[in-house]
Amino acid sequence: MANSMGDILHLLRKRPRLVVMAGLAILAVLTAEHLQISGPSLSRGWENLLIILSEAWPPDFSVLTNRASWANPACNFESDMLCSPAFIGLVQTLEIAFLATLFGALISLPLATMAAHNLSPLWLSTATRNLLAGLRVLPSLIWALLFVIVVGIGPLAGVLAMTLYTIGYLGKLQYEALEGVGKHPLEVARAMGLSRPVVARYFAIPEASNALISQILFMFEYNVRHGSVVGLVGAGGIGWYMQYYIAPFKLYDRVLALLIVLYFTVVIIDFISLRIRHRFIESEEIRKPRWRDVFLPQK
Amino acid sequence: MSESTPILTLSQVSIGFPGELPLLTGIDFEAYAGEVIGLVGVSGIGKTTFLRTLAGQVPLMAGDVEIFGFDDIRSAPRGSIGYIPQRLGLVHHRTVGYNVLMGALPRASRWQTLLALPSSEMRQATRAAVAAVDLEDKILEPISQLSGGQQRRVAVARSLVQCPRLLLADECLGELDITTSEVVAEQLIHLAHEQGACVILVDHSPVRLKVLCDRVFELRQGTIREDEPDHLRLPMA
């Protein structure tokens, strides 16, 4: 017995990876048990999923042709297609993402210069970083819930929610890019006696401009994807139309059609953004992006 | 050429990075308007740190400084100190014209800085400086598309526009072809002898410094001493 225990301990010492994997497995089981995740509840979920899938298939693409008379805000075009839930929802999602990215970038850039250690005194950068972290604490969905309560159902709540989240998220990316700027241009500017805001505006931001533009485009992509999520709580966009079909009517075939439309839109935007961002990436060795790069990670 | 009152005086100054042993100690040094001063010394001796200290980028470890009548380098009037680091400190994603124009920023008004609207004098000075370093045909090209020598000329042109009273140039003549080296050196000497600036030039070549400078200092064994140019050790033939 003592011998076999010794063998096990010897094996564990020789294979530390085995110990880590066993530890993780035990932790996973204990966590699932604490959350009361059980086999029966999983199988029940599976059954429900099959029911939803059977009701969703085939997708009902009338969402692209039928007029949404209940649209919010109301659609005044004569063409039914231009006033269809898919079209209105998609355009609203893109508009929300555009405005949130624009306002977010305009506000986050000055904040990022204040948060960058190489451009601001320690007290200011620490305070600004805490503010940006605070904005990131709540996901855009929770911000949307708050703004739906404050300004009511509609795209305004979505724009406000996603602008706040954009400031927090983009601000962090931007101050990291600004801190990556070489010290030499900044030293030249400081030796001239220029003030911190002037050093940031004329030396640091232009030097980091490629990274900053690339991050703004990435944020737009991100906001288009999340624009559909905030709609689920009433903050406008295609998500609001999905929620309209799910909650009272359970029209999963129309929801699936909207999801397919959204999927292709996101893929197209990802590709366009990838192509534009490629122009701003400095390394000459990076090849031109292709369609498959949207789906697969780049080497 | 030199005025009687120095524009820069260092008394018993120690130079180095906070928390580390000083690189240079007991420095007594004076610089006058209108002279070109050479600094020579082996790699790692502290030449660049010396210049960065004079540029206000590294705090003094000990000793006193007086610059343009002020007792703190950071109190020096705006635009009075020009600095060309070894890596030039150019904004790579902007054009030659943009980088040279940056030299005029210290004398821009608040509104001009805020609205990014340079005066016609600033634009004219930029064009003249670009012409002085023979880069007129490159004025709209981004820095990243220039050769190393051309980039050095841009950094010098930026200092010409700034027209500082003290210019600190770190190895800005190194690795240049003879023609480019002559163009750059000519402009630095012009800045000192014609416009009354003091130029402190760091270089590895004692021969070049002997030719260009009014006075040459050598950094050796943790301190700085003035050498007659003839006494400088010349490289092995």
Nearest-angstrom CA–CA distance, A139 and A153: 18
Angle at A122 between CA A119 and CA A123, to 5 degrees: 120
Chain A interface includes B81 (CB < 8 A): yes
Q: A192, A189, A211: which is closest to A200 by C-alpha?
A: A189
User: For the packed helices A252-280 and A209-231, what is the interaxial angle rounded to 10 degrees?
Assistant: 170
Nearest-angstrom CA–CA distance, A105 and A118: 20
H-type alpha helices, A192-237: 196-199, 205-207, 209-231
With beta carbons less than 8 A apart as the criterion, state whether A68 and A75 touch. Answer: yes
Nearest-angstrom CA–CA distance, B38 and B25: 19
B196, pLDDT greater than 50:
yes
CB contact under 8 A, A193 and B98: no
Instruction: Give the count of alpha carbons within 13 A of B136, CB side only.
Output: 7
Structure tokens at A92: 């609203």
User: Which is higher by pLDDT, A80 or A182?
Assistant: A182
Q: What pLDDT is attached to residue A280?
A: 67
Q: What pLDDT is attached to residue A63?
A: 79
Select the residue of B83, B98, B113 nearest A187 (Cβ to Cβ). B83
Nearest-angstrom CA–CA distance, B118 and A222: 38
DSSP characters for A186-197?
A: HHHHHHTT--HH
Residues 20 through 79 of chain A touching chain B, CB cutoff 8 Å: none
A213, pLDDT greater than 50:
yes
Q: What pLDDT is attached to residue A245?
A: 82
Which domains are present in chain A?
2-56 (no CATH), 85-295 (1.10.3720.10)
Interface probe for B, chosen from A186, A188, A212 (most Cβ of B below 10 Å), is: A188
Q: Which residues have a Cβ under 8 Å from the Cβ of A93 and sit 6 or more positions away?
A: A224, A227, A228, A231, A236, A237, A238, A239, A262
> Which amino acid appears at position B210 of this protein?
K
Shortest distance between the Cα of B78 and any Cα of chain A, in A, equals: 5
Which of A69-83, A284-298, B86-100 has the highest average model confidence (pLDDT)?
A: B86-100
Separation in Å, CA B158 to CA A10, A184, B89, B136: 69, 14, 11, 14
Span B1-80+164-229: which CATH code?
Answer: 3.40.50.300
**How many other CB atoms sit within 10 Å of the CB of residue A15?**
12
CB contact under 8 A, B82 and A187: no
pLDDT (average), residues B121-150: 91
Chain B residues closer than 8 Å to A196 by CB: none
Angle at B32 between CA B29 and CA B36, to 5 degrees: 95
Angle at A95 between CA A93 and CA A97, to 5 degrees: 70
DSSP state of A88: H
- A100-157 pLDDT, tens digit each: 999 999 999 999 999 999 999 999 999 999 999 999 988 888 888 888 888 888 888 8
Element (H, E) at A155: helix A155-179
pLDDT (average), residues B35-51: 91
Chain B residues closer than 8 Å to A210 by CB: 93
- A156-191 pLDDT, tens digit each: 888 999 999 999 999 999 999 999 999 999 999 999
DSSP state of A81: T
Q: Which residue from A minimizes the CA distance to B165? A: A192
Nearest-angstrom CA–CA distance, A230 and A233: 6
Nearest-angstrom CA–CA distance, A7 and A14: 10
> Which amino acid appears at position A144 of this protein?
A
Separation in Å, CA A148 to CA A75, A139, A144, A151: 21, 14, 6, 6
Element (H, E) at A258: helix A252-280
* Domain range list for chain B: 1-80+164-229, 89-163
With beta carbons less than 8 A apart as the criterion, state whether A158 and A236 touch. Answer: yes
Confidence of residue A290 (pLDDT cuts 50, 70, 90): low
CB contact under 8 A, B52 and A198: no
- Omega before residue A121 within 30° of 0, cis: no
pLDDT (average), residues B154-168: 93
Confidence of residue A242 (pLDDT cuts 50, 70, 90): confident
Q: What pLDDT is attached to residue A286?
A: 45
Chain B residues closer than 8 Å to A202 by CB: 91, 102, 105
Nearest-angstrom CA–CA distance, B167 and B146: 24
Question: String of b and e for A134-160 (b: at least 16 CB within 10 Å)?
Answer: ebeebebbebbbbbbeeeeebbbbbbb
pTM, 2 dp: 0.79
> Which amino acid appears at position B83 of this protein?
Y
B1, pLDDT greater than 70:
no
